[in-house]
Structure 1
Amino acid sequence: MSTIPCNSESYRRNLAVAIKILCVLLMITVAMPLSSAAVTELSVYPDYPVVGEDIKINGTAQPDESIDVTVSFNQTVNVSNGTYEYRIDDVEIPDGSNTFQVTSEKVKDLNVRVKILFWITKSADAESGVATVSQSNVPSGTYDIIIDGQAEDGESTVNLTINASSSIKADTQGYFEETYATNSIPPGIFELNAGEINEIITLYEELVVIPPEYDVYDANQNYIIEIEEISAAADDYLAGQLPIIQISQLVDYFLSGDKY
């Protein structure tokens, strides 16, 4: 029986190359992300929400995917006689999977009291001044919540972080939408996370009125088109630099004498 000569040096080189290729393949496999509900688009309305006004979100994700949406805000609470307390009324918990979490900093302990038919309390002692209470799968409904506890010695304020998470499902086309009440959120900045998209939202105490932008030909920016301004617009129109629809609108503004 004939034998095939084996070059041991060549064999070792080929083995080393094969091992390197295998390692690279393993690294690529580990680095690949697991399948998740990837949100590709997210819109939030209105642009300038007021306390008590519903916020609506919509967007797109993978068809039939479940999307985790989290609303979170921070609140500084004053300390009185060594204790702190913060109350949130009319907290709306939606149907489906949800989690409500409170983290308190610069404290000895934390109590989260929820009124359903009667007050139910869940407590936690702090570690290094930080205490967290979390509850999942809260039955849907509207609740009053009191957050209180003992502050660390010498502290005049404590910091609270409140997170409310829920799961919504995209339809067969990947579209999803949801509405969130803001009556339990204080005015200021809060965050809304949907999938991997993060939106920073400012909640205002009163309606924000945004004045319209000035027309480019309104040189003195008084929202009135005057003779010099309509003349400049006419020159640009005659030079072919202004479309007829725009010069017509400007002429209407000029002839009316009113603010546009």
Structure 2
Amino acid sequence: MKTKSCVNNTKSIKSKRTKLVLGLLSAFFLLGLFISPAAAKTDWKISPSNPSVGDTLKVKGTASPEEKLIAEVSFVKDLPVTGGRYQYSLEKIKIPRGKDNLFTVTGEGVENLNLSVKKLIWIDLSSDASGGTATISQGHVPPLKYKIIISGDALSTPGKHSSVKLKVTASQTLKTNQKGKFNFNYPTSGLPAGKYTVKIGNSEKTIELKP
């Protein structure tokens, strides 16, 4: 009887030890989750601080090591409508370098959106609007200078002054180095003067490009 009792006690002690070890491992695992470092916040600066058309915007910043970030430069224009149509031209606009670059045009208050791009020949793209908004995007664009004409039919708004809001965005993918640092340049020759939104990762800033 004593032998059976000893065996049972031994099994009970081993069971308690096993549960204790598992409990400690779980606690350490959860503690590790709580104290593990969070992803670094994207922090960057742009120069020159008061840019003019023709300047090259130079951006330097930090984020998490070897992190992929989307860098966007965009501007918005309110276009007048004449005879039910709108049109806007961009001369020698530079598409940013990078195999993951993307050029996007969005029109609000439109029936349709047409995009004509010229380098050696004209390439025409078009999109019908849904709910008054139309978007055209083109990725993997060679990093050259292009002439771009944006046009289309405006949405009819009886009793109101008709206008179209146009948003143009150029983006590319960046990757930080092993220390979490990154940099990129964006030429502004060919861009219109005005306010621009620069967004990198989770950080967004507004700059004004002077004439």
Please, what TM-score do these two structures have when normalized by structure 2? 0.76
1:188 pairs with one of 171, 183, 194: 194
User: Pairwise mapping of residues 111-126 of structure 1 onto structure 2 (< 5 A)?
Assistant: 111-126=114-129
Aligned residue in 2 for 1:160: 166
The higher radius of gyration belongs to 1
Cα deviation, 1:50-69, whole Å, max 9, x if unaligned, reads 11211111001222222210
Does the residue aligned with 1:88 lie in a helix, a strand or coil?
A: strand
Aligned residue in 1 for 2:79: 77
Letter in 2 for 1:153: S
Partners of 1:64 and 1:70 in 2: CA distance: 19
- How far did 1:74 drift? 0.2
The reply on whether 1:174 has 2:177 as its aligned counterpart is no
Cα deviation, 1:165-190, whole Å, max 9, x if unaligned, reads 10122222221111111223322211
Partners of 2:104 and 2:196 in 1: CA distance: 15
The reply on whether 1:88 has 2:70 as its aligned counterpart is no
Does the residue aligned with 1:51 lie in a helix, a strand or coil?
A: coil
1:68 pairs with one of 67, 70, 95: 70
Aligned residue in 1 for 2:109: 106
- How far did 1:104 drift? 0.5
Cα deviation, 1:199-230, whole Å, max 9, x if unaligned, reads 1111112xxxxxxxxxxxxxxxxxxxxxxxxx
1:145 pairs with one of 138, 144, 148: 148
Greater Cα offset, 67-76 or 182-191: 182-191
Question: Structure 1 stretches of 5 or more lacking a match?
Answer: 1-24, 30-34, 206-260
- How far did 1:39 drift? 4.7
Which one has a larger percent strand, Structure 1 or Structure 2? 2
Letter in 1 for 2:89: R
Structure 1 residues 66, 114: closer, same or farther in 2, change over 3 A?
same
Partners of 2:180 and 2:61 in 1: CA distance: 8
Q: What is the root-mean-square deviation in Å for CA atoms of aligned residues?
A: 2.4
The reply on whether 1:202 has 2:204 as its aligned counterpart is no
Partners of 2:195 and 2:71 in 1: CA distance: 17
Partners of 2:41 and 2:152 in 1: CA distance: 38
Letter in 1 for 2:120: L
Question: Structure 2 stretches of 5 or more lacking a match?
Answer: 1-29
Is the contact made by 2:72 and 2:169 (CA closer than 8 Å) also made in structure 1?
A: yes
Is the contact made by 2:42 and 2:200 (CA closer than 8 Å) also made in structure 1?
A: no
The reply on whether 1:45 has 2:51 as its aligned counterpart is no
Letter in 2 for 1:186: P
Is the contact made by 2:76 and 2:166 (CA closer than 8 Å) also made in structure 1?
A: yes
Letter in 1 for 2:115: V
Q: Which has the higher contact order (CA 8 A, sep 6+)?
A: 2
Is the contact made by 2:96 and 2:171 (CA closer than 8 Å) also made in structure 1?
A: no
Please, what TM-score do these two structures have when normalized by structure 1? 0.62
Give the 4+ runs in structure 1 shifted more than 6 A: none
Is the contact made by 1:39 and 1:59 (CA closer than 8 Å) also made in structure 2?
A: no
